[in-house]
Amino acid sequence: MLVSCKADASRLHLLWFSYMSTPGLSVSVAMATYNGERHIRRQLDSLAAQSHVPAQLVISDDNSEDKTVDAIKAFAETVSFPVEISRNETRLGYRANFMRAASLCRSELIAFCDQDDYWYPDKIAASVKPFDDPDVLLAYHNADVVSAEGKQIETLANFGALQSLLMPMSTGPWQFALGFTEVLRRSLLRFSDLWPNSCDAVEAGKPMAHDQWFFFLASVFGKIAYLDKPLVAYVQHATNTYGFWHDPGFWQAVKYQVRDRSDEYSLYAKAAESRAIILEGVRTGLDKAWAQRAVAAAEYYRKVSRLYDDRSTLYTSGSLGERLKAFRAILDTGGYTGQWGIKRKSVVVDMCLGVPLGHFMRSRAEPRQ
């Protein structure tokens, strides 16, 4: 059910004035909500305070059981831009809910928005500048990580890019940006029908999260811009769907490396294979340049899939000969160079643990739930 909170005559005049006085590309804000009554008004107010006024706010509510929608309707009466609310009769989950919000956006650019953060006034204005380059398909930025009380904890600088402009297929297979930092061209929605065919690299049986999906597409077909400037306060509280993750300590990192990870490697292989299949399926409907990028990227993800299959073999096969063959295959194809998502230091782990002890590690691993 779609509810449009329409403006009266005076507000329509304000809307036209704000649209005409805001230079640059138009931006739709795509927000997914669920039981966000406690935090959402602060986020909404930060949207109203943007120096580059959004042309549209689209909110897909995932059947909230609190007063989230009432708070949105009250906010809509106070702003000059249109606010549209789509309510799901049954819960979709955050992945599909964000995809639905994006599908309802009509502007040239789409900015994802979480319900519990708050944006700094120049968030939109700064994020649209990279799109002066027509080859830029997505931009993302740094953010402050803050407590529920507003105290700064950290920034996301360590998860940013080393360059301000990333060329096609230069990011590695698993890099992505958190959704609330992303602004993307609406043209990427042309591939949304294929999203259900994608596979998440971490959660088995799930399609990719919205931020991973669009980052993947942008990394294949165009440039990605990175702004090393905090433009959002990323609020941490007890009910975050996904919160800020800290860099693990030394012993935690060692423990992570030596545990049985064969199922993880198999899931990575499946995720990469699904990307290759998607890219092979879309190339016939693209212009020459994009078709060539789709073909090259499909080949890349096929290789990523094979490499992770080989890594899985290192920790599942009971045959020393098969484990040696798998290790040699990774070495011979440059699998440990870092460009395929396997870190350089993994060669030591696989050589010292996978080859001689891989099957033993698997057999002694704790039963999977």
pLDDT tens digit sequence for 108-144: 999 999 999 999 999 999 999 999 999 999 999 999 9
144 and 216 in a common domain? yes
DSSP, residue by residue, 68-93: HHHHHHHHHTT-SS-EEEEE-SS---
Of residues 246 and 102, which shows the higher confidence score? Answer: 102
In 3D space, the residue among 88, 40, 210, 67 whose CA is nearest the CA of residue 138 turns out to be 210
Residue 77: the pLDDT is 96
Of residues 367 and 333, which shows the higher confidence score? Answer: 333
How far, in Å, CA of 61 to CA of 259, rounded? 40
In the structure, how many helices (H) and strands (E) does the chain have?
Answer: 12, 11
How far, in Å, CA of 55 to CA of 128, rounded? 13
DSSP, residue by residue, 87-122: E-SS---HHHHHHHHHHT--SSEEEEE-SS-EE-TT
CB-based contact 30:56 (threshold 8 Å): no
Confidence band, pLDDT 50/70/90 cuts, at residue 24: low
Q: What is the pLDDT of residues 44-99, one digit of tens each?
A: 999 999 999 999 999 999 999 999 999 999 999 999 999 999 999 999 999 999 99
258 and 217 in a common domain? no
121 and 46 in a common domain? yes
In 3D space, the residue among 219, 12, 203, 234 whose CA is nearest the CA of residue 112 turns out to be 234
83 and 197 in a common domain? yes
220 and 104 in a common domain? yes
- The residue behind tokens 């259900």 is 196
Residue 149: the pLDDT is 83
Confidence band, pLDDT 50/70/90 cuts, at residue 305: very high
How far, in Å, CA of 318 to CA of 311, rounded? 14
Residue 159: the pLDDT is 87
In 3D space, the residue among 176, 155, 340, 114 whose CA is nearest the CA of residue 247 turns out to be 155
Q: Is 155 within a domain?
A: yes
Confidence band, pLDDT 50/70/90 cuts, at residue 242: low
Q: What average pLDDT does the segment 215-219 reach? A: 98
265 and 218 in a common domain? no
How far, in Å, CA of 312 to CA of 63, rounded? 40
How far, in Å, CA of 154 to CA of 44, rounded? 23
Cross-strand partners of 241: none
304 and 229 in a common domain? no
Lowest mean pLDDT of 9-23, 24-38, 82-96, 267-281, name the range: 9-23
255 and 295 in a common domain? yes
Residue 367: the pLDDT is 41
Confidence band, pLDDT 50/70/90 cuts, at residue 177: very high
181 and 114 in a common domain? yes
Instruction: Give every CB contact of residue 79 below 8 A, 6+ residues apart in sequence.
Output: 47, 48
Mean pLDDT over each residue of the chain, to the nearest integer: 88
Q: Is 112 within a domain?
A: yes
pLDDT at 27 over 80: yes
Q: Is 243 within a domain?
A: no
How far, in Å, CA of 61 to CA of 28, rounded? 16
165 and 69 in a common domain? yes
| Structure tokens belonging to residue 67 | 């007063």
Tell me which residue range forms the domain holding 115: 2-236
How far, in Å, CA of 102 to CA of 285, rounded? 22
Instruction: Give every CB contact of residue 212 below 8 A, 6+ residues apart in sequence.
Output: 176, 200, 201
Residue 20: the pLDDT is 38
Domain boundary among 212, 236, 260: 236
Residue 255: the pLDDT is 55
Q: What average pLDDT does the segment 185-196 reach? A: 97
In 3D space, the residue among 166, 148, 149, 145 whose CA is nearest the CA of residue 157 turns out to be 145
Q: What is the largest CA-CA distance in the chain?
A: 77
